[in-house]
A and B are shown apart, each in its own frame.
Chain A
């Protein structure tokens, strides 16, 4: 038996308090003389025995009541053969699609152990033991696991969904080319195309192996595009965020770890806390804060009353997405700002209530919210790139945006790479390929005792493509064991908490009965 709160075990001797009180009571019972007690002799033997039994039963009930109550508080549980020393929860958006399923399992664990961590545990902790991980199979997660020497038990909350997925997407001549890989034939499937607040579906028949399709795409101006392939039997779930993970999936990763957005943003600017930022600096948040962390960044600026603009050039998106889906309550000013904000020919113009904010623009910091890609197969955000390019080239923004390069991540960029010094002078540019190692968001190079911040420029076609094959994943996880989420039940400890609570209550009830009946 293992205890979640073993401190209560030290209190178990306290359950003998009733016995001590009893002995104390007997020892210090007031003694009075009485002329004659012989008249009791006849019945006293039986009565004394009965009273003794009653006393013992009541005393025992009290002791056991306290004993089991303390055991209840110590949260005992029976350990299985393999027990998670640590439980790690992947909190990426894609995993949160299975929120209900995962929470249920987590709740069971959290009742018996407090050794529950989020994914950053893998980076920071050096605890040993059996590590149970609940993840939807994010590549970074697997890489973190590879770096560790622990025993990993990985629980993935899908089973049927791993047989179909998007392999490759291209947009050419108002058409979307999609390659879909399937491990089996699926007659009733659907390709869901989501661009900004709009979406439409194409019915598909998918054969086993690689399938190629193309569809017309007449809309040119959109913030982001997302494609999902769905077997029809999942459609009824009506899950907007449905994410299919084929076995031979290509993982497209653009930017990682959004949980450090704010922290990284601040540290890049040389701040530790948000309230250290000067009020003369205008922050322009561009893009769609569609992740909790991104929203958190924005809300922090709003809460601290720092001048900031959320640039969204689509009011409809704001209404449907921000308000309805995220229940985000942003001051109306933010919306107004976004309406009047525009960049024309390399100049930022901001008119709000008759005030021209161009002057503020000179000190502006552009912070881009890029859609978290782990649940999005392909992301295009052409208008973002446009403003980004203009920002860099014309307005010369200092651009500490949301990049977070992870260790050992190979990044292929078909575009331009620039390094500016702290005086915003261009130092170098024009790399086709670059491998960043040991770099984090906000990293800089030191050259001649000067800081060199990292800025990036992207081509329209591709931001970043990173491939990972099944074999690679298998290699990564060769020392780990993979189970479906439901199989986690087999490892769940059996909590005895309620059982002991029941016993405790039973004995207090018995005590009352003994007092009344005997």
Chain B
């Protein structure tokens, strides 16, 4: 039984995702992820409906006929959406990071679905909280949306453990989309991400941050309490606040550099920015540069 309120929420959610995705699709018809998860199976003779990019020119040259590559699964690319729902995501005003992250996940799911790819959702914090392996069905989208709607943050982030486990479970190549604030020892995240990379997955990293975090302002003495760990940091003076801000920005910059160095697509979203604009930017940027 789904409550009526929930249904309307779900519809709004879906509408938001649709709006962005369709806007994107007006300019780009093909799936941006197509072909990554598909394993080559055999060649077959070219028919006019086939896309030119799948023509095997070497073979066609040798055989004097045009052959195209045939993939084992021609239909679906598996899109694994990994959402961090740890406590640190429950931060930000007016929009919390987790809410923003949910939107991102929903948009990706919907986009994948429309492209006949198979979206799957993996919610994690210190453990794998929810997981819905990729399926290219409308039902799957509904499940993902409902899950996202009801999702609450809890626990600490344990990326290394989770990513390692997932990389062992996910046998076939696909697209791994990680949505998180990546606020944890960055080495753990990087190491975890590299497990996916080693398995030849396409990894896309979405860092969601709040404006309060990156633009930390001093308004008198405060004690900052870590939302996941038993840590405190006292700030008495403006200088200390500036130092804190500087160190935080350094930290996320270093993380970004490390990610990019590993040839992983990195995008940072700030919760007070326009999600539509940013998301479309991301898609165009992705389409243009790709990996």
Residues of A within 8 Å of B244, CB to CB, are 40
Judging by beta carbons under 8 Å apart, are A35 and B183 in contact? yes
Q: Which of B39-47, B229-237, B256-264 contacts A (4 or more CB under 8 A)?
A: B229-237
Contact partner of B184 among A29, A33, A38, CB < 8 A?
A: A38
> Interface with A: B59-67, B118-126, B192-200, B220-228, which one?
B220-228
State whether the Cβ of B213 lies closer than 8 Å to any Cβ in chain A.
yes
Contact A34 B224 (CB under 8 A): yes
Check A37/B185 contact, CB under 8 A, given A31-B225, A32-B224, A43-B247.
no
Asked if A10 CB lies within 8 Å of chain B CBs, one says no
Mask: chain A, 16-46; 1 = CB below 8 Å from B; 0 = not: 0000000001100111111111111001100
B234/A29 in contact, CB under 8 A: yes
A38 touches B229 (CB 8 A): yes
Q: Scoring B residues 204 to 222 as 1 if CB is less than 8 Å from chain A, else 0, what string do you get? A: 0000001001000000111
Whether a CB of chain B sits under 8 angstroms from the CB of A51 is yes
B234–A35 CB distance below 8 A? no
Contact A30 B220 (CB under 8 A): yes
- Closest Cβ of chain B to A282, distance in Å, is 80
Q: How far is the CA of A34 from the CA of B49 in the complex (A)?
A: 55
Residue pair A40, B234 in contact (C-beta under 8 Å):
no
Which residues on B sit within 8 Å (CB–CB) of A30?
A: 220-223
B51 CB to nearest chain A CB (Å): 44
Residues in chain B near residue A35, CB distance under 8 A: 87-89, 91, 97, 181, 183, 210, 213, 226-228
Contact present for B234 and A26 (CB under 8 Å): yes
Closest B residue, CB atoms, query A39: B251
Assembly CA distance A359 to B181 (angstroms): 115
Please tell me which one of the listed residues A31, A32, A37 contacts residue B231 in the complex, with CB atoms under 8 A apart.
A37
B221 touches A38 (CB 8 A): no
Instruction: Kindly list chain A residues whose C-beta atoms are within 8 Å of the C-beta of B220.
Output: 30
**A residues near B221, Cβ cutoff 8 Å:** 25, 29-30
B226 contact from A34, A47, A51, Cβ within 8 A: A34
Interface size bucket, B side?
Answer: 20 to 34
Shortest C-beta distance, B209 to chain A (Å), equals 9
Chain A residues with CB under 8 A of B50: none
A-side contacts of B233, CB under 8 Å: 34, 37, 40, 44
With A33-B91, A51-B240 given, is the CB distance from A39 to B222 under 8 Å? no
Contact assessment for A36 and B234 in the assembled complex, using a CB-CB cutoff below 8 Å = no
Q: Is B248 an interface residue (CB 8 A)?
A: yes
Instruction: Indicate which residue in A33, A40, A43 contacts B225 across the interface (CB closer than 8 Å).
Output: A33
Contact A38 B185 (CB under 8 A): yes
* Cβ-defined contact, B247 with A31, below 8 A: no
Contact with B along A37-69 (1 / 0, CB 8 A): 111100110010001000000000000000000
Q: With A30-B220, A33-B91 as given contacts, are A39 and B225 in contact (CB-CB < 8 Å)?
A: no
List residues of chain A with CB within 8 A of the CB of B247: 39-40, 43
Q: Do A32 and B223 form a contact, CB below 8 Å, given A26-B234, A40-B247?
A: yes
Separation of A29 and B227 alpha carbons in the complex (Å): 17
The CA-CA distance from A249 to B222 in the complex, in Å, is 83
| In the bound complex, CA of A187 to CA of B174 (Å) | 128
Q: Are A36 and B88 in contact (CB under 8 A)?
A: yes
Task: Please name the residue on chain A nearest to B181 by beta carbon.
Answer: A35
Return chain B residues, CB-CB under 8 Å to A37. 224, 226, 229, 231-233
**SS class of chain B's interface: helix, strand, loop or mixed?**
mixed
**Residues in chain B near residue A31, CB distance under 8 A:** 222-225, 232
Q: How far is the CB of B246 from chain A (nearest CB, A)?
A: 11
CB distance from A35 to the nearest CB of B (A): 4
Could you tell me if A36 and B222 are in contact, using CB atoms closer than 8 angstroms? no
Q: How far is the CB of B163 from chain A (nearest CB, A)?
A: 18
**Chain B residues closer than 8 Å to A39, beta-carbon distance:** 183, 247-248, 250-251
Q: Measured between alpha carbons, how far is A36 from B251 in the docked complex, in Å?
A: 11
Of residues A26, A33, A36, which shows the largest number of chain B Cβ atoms within 10 Å of its Cβ? A36
Kindly report which residue of chain B lies nearest to residue A36, judged by CB atoms: B183
Which residues 259-302 in A have Cβ within 8 Å of B in the complex?
none
- List, in ascending order, chain B residues with CB within 8 A of A38's CB: 183-185, 226, 229, 231
Complex CA distance for A29 and B233, rounded to whole angstroms = 11
Complex CA gap A208/B58 in Å reads 146
Closest chain B CB from A496 CB (angstroms) = 35
Please state if B225 and A32 are interface contacts (CB–CB under 8 Å). Answer: yes
User: How far is the CB of A118 from the nearest CB of chain B, in Å?
Assistant: 58
- CB-CB under 8 A from B240, the residues of chain A are 51
Expressed in whole angstroms, the minimum distance between the Cβ of A395 and any Cβ of chain B is 90
A37 to B233 Cα, complex, angstroms: 7
Task: Tell me the complex Cα distance, A44–B210, Å.
Answer: 23
CA distance A30 to B224 in the complex (A): 8
Query: Is there contact, CB below 8 Å, between A34 and B229?
Result: no
Least CB separation from B248: chain A residue: A39
Task: State in angstroms the CA–CA spacing of A43 and B227 once bound together.
Answer: 20
Compute how far the CA of A401 lies from the CA of B251 in the bound complex, rounded to whole angstroms: 100
- Chain A residues whose CB sits within 8 angstroms of the CB of B213 once the complex forms: 34-35
Q: In the assembled complex, how far is the CB of residue B72 from the closest CB belonging to chain A, in whole angstroms? A: 42
CB 8 Å contact bits of B83-94 with A (1 = contact, 0 = none)? 000011101000
Asked, given contacts A39-B248, A40-B244, whether A33 binds B227 with beta carbons under 8 Å apart, the answer is yes
Residues of chain B within 8 A of A25, CB atoms compared:
221, 236
A43 neighbours in B (Cβ, 8 Å): 247
Least CB distance from B96 to A in Å reads 11
Instruction: Name which of A35, A38, A47 has the most chain B CB atoms within 10 A of its CB.
Output: A35
The answer to whether B184 touches A36 (Cβ under 8 A) is: yes
Chain A residues with CB under 8 Å of B224's CB are 31-34, 37
Minimum distance in angstroms from B227 CB to a CB of chain A:
5
In the complex, which residue of chain B has the Cβ closest to the Cβ of A515? B237
Chain B minimum-CB-distance residue to A28: B221
Residues in chain B near residue A47, CB distance under 8 A: 243
Complex interface: chain A residues within 8 A of B97 (CB): 35
> With A and B bound together, what is the CA distance between A32 and B243 in angstroms?
17
Task: Closest B residue to A51 by CB, please name it.
Answer: B240
Docked CA distance A37–B235 (Å) = 12
Minimum distance in angstroms from B58 CB to a CB of chain A: 51
- CB-CB nearest in chain A for B226: A37
Query: In the complex, A33 Cα to B236 Cα: how many Å?
Result: 16
- Min CB gap B220→A, angstroms: 7
Contact between A34 and B227, CB atoms less than 8 A apart: yes
The residues in B between 86 and 108 inclusive whose CB is less than 8 angstroms from any CB of A are 87-89, 91, 97
Report the minimum CB–CB distance from A195 to chain B (whole Å): 82
Contact with A along B169-190 (1 / 0, CB 8 A): 0000000000001011100000
Looking at the assembled complex, report how far the CB atom of B153 sits from the nearest CB atom of chain A, in whole angstroms: 11
Give A386 to B233 CA distance when docked, in angstroms.
100
Knowing that A30-B221, A31-B225 touch, tell me 16 more A-B residue pairs with CB under 8 angstroms: A30-B223, A31-B232, A33-B224, A33-B227, A34-B233, A35-B91, A36-B181, A37-B229, A37-B232, A37-B233, A38-B184, A38-B229, A38-B231, A39-B183, A40-B233, A47-B243
Q: Could you write out 25 A-B pairs with CB less than 8 Å apart?
A: A25-B236, A26-B234, A30-B221, A31-B232, A32-B223, A32-B225, A33-B224, A34-B91, A34-B213, A34-B226, A34-B227, A34-B233, A35-B87, A35-B88, A35-B210, A35-B213, A36-B183, A36-B184, A36-B228, A37-B233, A38-B183, A38-B185, A39-B248, A39-B251, A44-B233
Which residues of A are in contact with B by a Cβ distance under 8 Å? 25-26, 29-40, 43-44, 47, 51
Which A-B residue pairs are the 3 nearest by beta carbons?
A36-B183, A35-B88, A39-B251
